[in-house]
Amino acid sequence: MSTRAFCLLFALLALLPSAAYLRAQNAESHDAKAQAQTPAATPDLSGVWTRRGGPNQRYLGYGFQAEELPMTPWALERYKANKPSFGPHMVTDTNDPTYDCNLPGLPRIYAHPTVFEFIQTRGRVLQFFEYDNVLRQIWTDGRQHPKEIDPEERLWMGDPIGHWEGDVLVVDTTGFNDKTWLDRAGHPHSDELHVVEHIQRTAHDSLRLDLTIEDPKAYTKPITSTINYQLKPDWKINEHACKEYPRPE
């Protein structure tokens, strides 16, 4: 190789980034993404929250809407077979799944008069409900829902994945089993249930939760509801243990 060619090759190699430099750049990029998920870099939802009343809320009774839900024939058949202890079809001999100490599911857990606490960590927002001390992990680290789920691995509370849109936490939950009810009135759902929550702290002591519930097998159109919460800085989550409901002989 001539001296001129060698010098030209050396100059070109000098322009290329070193492996160490590339590793540093990749690490910096990864750290930047991780930093975006830390509590310091996101809106603060932390605290203990209890519900406020509103004109479109029946949560102190049994459900989410004033009118009857738009059920398909499949859902209507299951609804008639359910025996809730709340709502227009309430009975004493209930077959409510929660009376067997099963998890209440989503969005049903919001229909119970109970408080919850938001706890924010890197890559996760934890929702700690006083009801049965249910802990819900909302992942905000960029992961996606599994493309396929074995029927035996479908979950009572679903698989919640969250991301931030400005000061709004958007939570997309799928992967449900069909063993829970939407509410305490006995409205069923299928394993196609899809729940989207938009959660925003509208003031220091106010939180707004907008729900969109979709289940084409069970309902002819999406169901929407808004629940407002009030901060209780002096409250804490107490212990709550489920006890099985005594079945009649």
In this prediction, residue 247 carries a pLDDT of: 54
In this prediction, residue 10 carries a pLDDT of: 46
Residue 236 lies in a domain: no
Residue 246 lies in a domain: no
What is the domain count for the chain?
2
Q: Indicate the pTM of the whole model.
A: 0.80
In this prediction, residue 36 carries a pLDDT of: 45
In this prediction, residue 218 carries a pLDDT of: 98
In this prediction, residue 9 carries a pLDDT of: 47
Q: Is residue 46 within 8 Å of 124, Cβ to Cβ?
A: no
In this prediction, residue 1 carries a pLDDT of: 56
The two three-digit tokens of residue 236, written as one number? 């804490």
Whether residue 19 sits in one domain with residue 81: no
Residue 243 lies in a domain: no
- Could you say which residues of the chain have pLDDT below 70? 1-40, 53-61, 66, 244-249
- Phi-psi category of residue 5: left, alpha or beta, with phi > 0 → left and psi -120 to 50 → alpha: alpha
pLDDT tens profile 65-80: 767 899 999 999 999 9
Residue 239 lies in a domain: no
Whether residue 12 sits in one domain with residue 110: no
Helices (H), the chain: 3-15, 19-35, 73-81
Supply the DSSP string of 188-249, one letter for each residue: ---TT-EEEEEEEEEETTEEEEEEEEE-TTTBSS-EEEEEEEEE-TT--PPP----PPPPP-
Domain membership of residue 7 as a residue range? 3-35
CATH number of the structural domain spanning residue 203: 2.40.128.20
Residue 247 lies in a domain: no
Residue 223 lies in a domain: yes
Separation between Cα atoms, residue 161 and residue 106, nearest integer Å: 14
In this prediction, residue 98 carries a pLDDT of: 93
Whether residue 101 sits in one domain with residue 25: no
In this prediction, residue 177 carries a pLDDT of: 97
**Nearest one of 114, 82, 73, 87 to 180, comparing CA atoms:** 82
In this prediction, residue 8 carries a pLDDT of: 47
The two three-digit tokens of residue 30, written as one number? 């990864």
